[in-house]
Amino acid sequence: MTGRLIPHAVLVLAILLFALPIWIAVAGSTQDSAVIARGEISLIPRLSGLGVYRDVLLHGSAGAGPVWHALMVSAGMALAIAFGKIALSLPSAYAVTFFRFPFRMTAFWLIFLTLMLPVEVRLIPTFQVMSSLDLINSFTGLTIPLIASATATLLFRQTFLTLPDELVEAARMDGAGPLRFLRDIVIPVSGANIAALFVILFVYGWNQYLWPLLVATDPKYDTVVIGIVKMIGVDTATEWNKVMATAVLALIPPVAVVFLMQHWFVKGLTEGDK
């Protein structure tokens, strides 16, 4: 029995460590802003304060627009990034894994190199490119630079490499051309990996801060993450309960995505192939 006690204690501790801040946000969102500012947050939510959610969703707060709009922008951006990256990296990984063409490895290493250059590193040149393409303050400008990256290509390549050669050959004998093989065999077989990657990319896109801050100055393109920051005013008194409510709302979609795709997610990360 004692053998189980210690692992459980560690687990409980870890759960508390992660859950407590979230709980504080949930409880805090229902309390009075002034109370929170004094650092006197009660851990018991006040049911009468739940109206704040309706409030931020529909009206936002001083300095930031309604949260429902920011949530839509965030969702749009995260989905575009997740789908865009998958759509881009699936064929490129397919090409470098299954085809022999001149400079194949050069292409692969060039893609690999972009791993070292995330948007944060190439912020200024990327901004210049977007600016000269007149894509500042547009949804395209918000998403495209975040779509172009190597992570997904590399992950897909690793997945594809685990497909046995004989499977490729069996499909060739069956008469499947490259596109058919991709559609009928490769994509279904890597389904779990694609789903896992989708979850990771969605969360990645959802949490973007620096690039949206820079490229979209129009409040129309404020994501929920930006919205939270804008709520924390410097000059005006910050409505902390609204900040916390927005933070809780911002948390829900990524959690929902992870939760909904949990089955696939775990499968994709743990199962090598098949």
Partner 1 sequence: MAGLRLEGLHKSFGAIEILKGVDLALADGEMLVIVGASGCGKSTLLRLVAGLETPTAGRILIDGRDVTGLDPSARDIAMVFQNYALYPHMSVFDNMAYGLKIRGLPRAAIRAKVDEASALLGLEALLERKPRQLSGGQRQRVAMGRAIVRDPKLFLFDEPLSNLDAKLRVQMRGEIRRLQRRLKVTSLYVTHDQVEAMTLGDRLLVMHQGVPVQLATPTEVFEYPADTYVAGFIGSPAMNLLPGVLGRNGTAVTVAGTEIALAPSRFAAPDGHAVILGIRPEHVVLDPSGMSWPVEIVELLGSEMLVHARRGGEASLTIKIVHGPAMSDVIRVSFPSEHVHLFDQATGLRLTPAGSGVPPS
d(CA 257, CA 200): 10
d(CA 263, CA 274): 15
* Residue that is written with structure tokens 């709980």 in the block: 23
CB of 183 to partner 1, least distance (A): 12
| Nearer residue to partner 1 within complex by CB, 40 or 169 | 169
d(CA 90, CA 93): 5
| Nearer residue to partner 1 within complex by CB, 129 or 167 | 167
| Nearer residue to partner 1 within complex by CB, 34 or 187 | 187
CB of 194 to partner 1, least distance (A): 13
CB contact set of 243 (below 8 Å; sequence gap of 6+): 61, 228, 231, 232
CB of 94 to partner 1, least distance (A): 17
CB of 184 to partner 1, least distance (A): 7
| Nearer residue to partner 1 within complex by CB, 189 or 248 | 189
d(CA 66, CA 29): 16
Neighbouring-strand partners of residue 114: none
* Binding-site ranges for partner 1 (CB under 8 A): 164, 166-167, 169-176, 180, 184-185, 188-189, 191, 273-274
| Nearer residue to partner 1 within complex by CB, 38 or 274 | 274
d(CA 8, CA 271): 26
| Nearer residue to partner 1 within complex by CB, 166 or 218 | 166
CB of 268 to partner 1, least distance (A): 14
d(CA 184, CA 217): 44
To the nearest 10 degrees (0 to 180), the angle between helices 191-206 and 151-161 is 170
CB of 258 to partner 1, least distance (A): 24
Of 67, 114, 96, the residue nearest 243 (C-alpha): 67
CB of 124 to partner 1, least distance (A): 46
CB contact set of 263 (below 8 Å; sequence gap of 6+): none
| Nearer residue to partner 1 within complex by CB, 40 or 184 | 184
